Amino acid sequence: MTRSLGNSLGRWPWAIAGFGLAVACAACGAACGGSRNDAIAPTVPLSSSIEAQTELRGIEASFAQSSRAERQALEDRLLAFQERYPKDALGPVADVMLAWIALERGDLSRATELSSRAETQTKSVGTTAELARMIQGAALRRSGKAEAALGKLLPLLGKLIDPHARTFLNEEATASAIGAKHHGQAIELMLVWLHEASIEERAEVRSKLAELLASIPPAALAPILEARRKQHPEPLHEELEVQKTLIERLSGAAISARDQQLARRLLAAAMPLLGTSADELAELAAGAGGARVEAPTLGLVLPTRSLEARRRGTQVVSGVMFGLGLPGSAARLVTRDDLGRDTGIEDALEGLGADGAAIVIAGVDREEATIAAKFAERESIPVVLLHPPAPDVADSAFVFVVGEEPERVRKALVGALPAKGQVVWVGDKGSVDMAREEAFECTRLPPSWRGIGGVVVYGSCVSDVLLSVSGSSVKTAVGLDLGGVNLPKGTFAATAGAYPIDPRAPGRESLSAWMAAHPDPPSLWAGLGRDAAVLAWVGVEGLPTQGTRDPKEVKRRREQAAAALAVAERDLWTTEAKGFGGARRLARTIGVREVR
């Protein structure tokens, strides 16, 4: 949440009570504090003159009734006050107002400096010190330090006497909890905020709650709502308002994203509170309006679960975009990411089906490919996999594999490597059979190359292995995924289709077009993405141009897309084949050549 201070409190006379009380406490030594019985009274010495009190009260009254711009203009008066009364006990009160002005101006370092000075001079007790800590917390949140902001703000809850200061504190604390991703705590703070708001403020507070909740992903909010519904099945007062706000946020998200699973969760957990959205959610959950087909539309799962998945995914996206000729082509591409977790893969696939994709491209590793293959069979939607699924996945008319089995590449390289002694192989997780003692993941190379005659490597650590064996007698063979590394002479390299690509050699027209637009040749994953896209496009370009949500028609069009994909032919980069040839796995000849 980035709402500015001026927008939050610019019209509220909070300083009349907050600063006025601080002035009175500083001048008279009264036992002032928060609204709780254990509030600590200030210990400011009785050294304020009548002249200083009178002048600061006048500034404070103007400050409380001013707009943001008018408060900025009061800075000179406050500085002049401090110059005239440099040792007056009211100096910290002036510092807090100056810190507030700096905060509104966006000068976070000055706001922190002034409020810290005020806190120190008041010995960290009393209303002035509490206001100073509140400003420090607000400055921390605005500088992106949400966790530290919470540490400043949470101890102040319930202590500030002025209701408008408490409202600002509650908003800051809630926004900080959201920024720190403590979503459950943020909901509890919303309850406090509503409880302490006046009747006149309730509508505005609810509006702000809705804005804050919009920044929390539905996937994080849904389990919170379900837990609150179990704990408070018949909510009242603030709990009822918070649950309604949660439901409005999640209902809107489910309907806009056509998220069938979320709609079902809402119906199961919160049916009595769904209101006017109940019918639409019920329709979505039942499937009408869930899956749909819009032509010509392809879907792409964006992997974010790991560094390696993101590396491959980034390259796939560039290949898919190039293969579809985007922007400017007739193709429509919709994307969904996996939200950084394995369970998000199926959510992404469901979302793409709701977005109108007739064919989905997915599977940068075996895990994702396996989930996508099972989803394709269950939902009858064609999925093009960039990596083969697990061997035990049942064959399906809706599963098409363009990627190559890593073990097949490894065997070809081991068989061609003229090495004496042991041969080990190194690769990314999922590409290496770690059950074998001669296998190593990229994250842990062999501790020593002594006694090793050859190494087969593929994936993100090609350059690391080449550097590690440089100058030794170890023979090296690399797979198709080179990661942009130029191979030294004497290295053995796997070949398939146009790979490894030599940008200096005359090539196909499509590769020349790539090189004209990119500084480097396409990586293997870019090539797989491009090949998947050009074949998938053949599968969807013949579909009716009018979209449909009718379940029978959706199924029929998906079957039509799968049939067209099976016989699609195009010039491909990663294989000499032109397409699936009526099957559902690209044929590919794996060769090995020595770099000279």
Domain ranges of the chain: 5-181, 185-289, 291-404+524-588, 406-495
User: What was the pLDDT predicted at 506?
Assistant: 60
Q: With beta carbons less than 8 A apart as the criterion, state whether 571 and 528 touch.
A: no
DSSP label of 180: T
User: What was the pLDDT predicted at 137?
Assistant: 95
Helices 237-257 and 260-270: crossing angle in degrees, nearest 10, is 160
pTM over 0.85: no
**Cα–Cα distance for residue pair 368/342, rounded to 1 Å:** 8
- Give the number of other Cβ atoms within 10 Å of residue 402's Cβ: 28
Q: Which residue has the tokens 């400050």?
A: 63
Fold classified for 5-181: 1.25.40
Dihedral of alpha carbons 273, 276, 281, 286, sign: positive
Query: Which residues does 84 contact at the CB level (< 8 Å), separation at least 6?
Result: 52, 55
Cis peptide before 327 (omega within 30 of 0): yes
**Cα–Cα distance for residue pair 336/243, rounded to 1 Å:** 28
User: What was the pLDDT predicted at 126?
Assistant: 87
Q: Strand pairing of 439-441 and 475-478?
A: unpaired
User: What was the pLDDT predicted at 155?
Assistant: 93
Q: Do domains 5-181 and 291-404+524-588 have the same CATH topology?
A: no
Q: With beta carbons less than 8 A apart as the criterion, state whether 301 and 336 touch.
A: yes
Cα separation values, 559 from 334, 372, 382, 564, Å: 20, 17, 8, 9
Which residue type does 477 have?
A
User: What was the pLDDT predicted at 328?
Assistant: 59
Query: Which residues does 258 contact at the CB level (< 8 Å), separation at least 6?
Result: 284, 289, 290, 292, 351, 354, 355
User: What was the pLDDT predicted at 507?
Assistant: 65
User: What was the pLDDT predicted at 84?
Assistant: 92
Radius of gyration of the chain (CA): 32
Please, what CATH class does the domain formed by 291-404+524-588 belong to?
A: alpha beta
**Cα–Cα distance for residue pair 559/553, rounded to 1 Å:** 10
**Cα–Cα distance for residue pair 294/286, rounded to 1 Å:** 20
CA nearest to 493, candidates 410, 592, 573: 592
Show the beta-strand stretches assigned E in 438-547: 439-441, 452-458, 475-478, 492-495
Q: In what order do the strands lie in the sheet with 359-362?
A: 332-337, 297-302, 359-362, 383-385, 399-401
**Cα–Cα distance for residue pair 106/543, rounded to 1 Å:** 54
Residue 110: burial class (beta carbons within 10 Å; 0-12, 13-18, 19+): middle
**Cα–Cα distance for residue pair 408/344, rounded to 1 Å:** 30
Query: What's the average pLDDT block by block, 10 residues per block, for the chain (596 residues)?
Result: 39 39 42 35 51 88 82 91 91 93 93 94 89 95 95 89 78 94 94 88 89 91 94 91 94 83 89 85 65 84 91 94 80 89 89 91 96 95 96 93 93 87 83 77 84 87 89 90 83 93 74 88 94 96 89 93 96 96 94 91
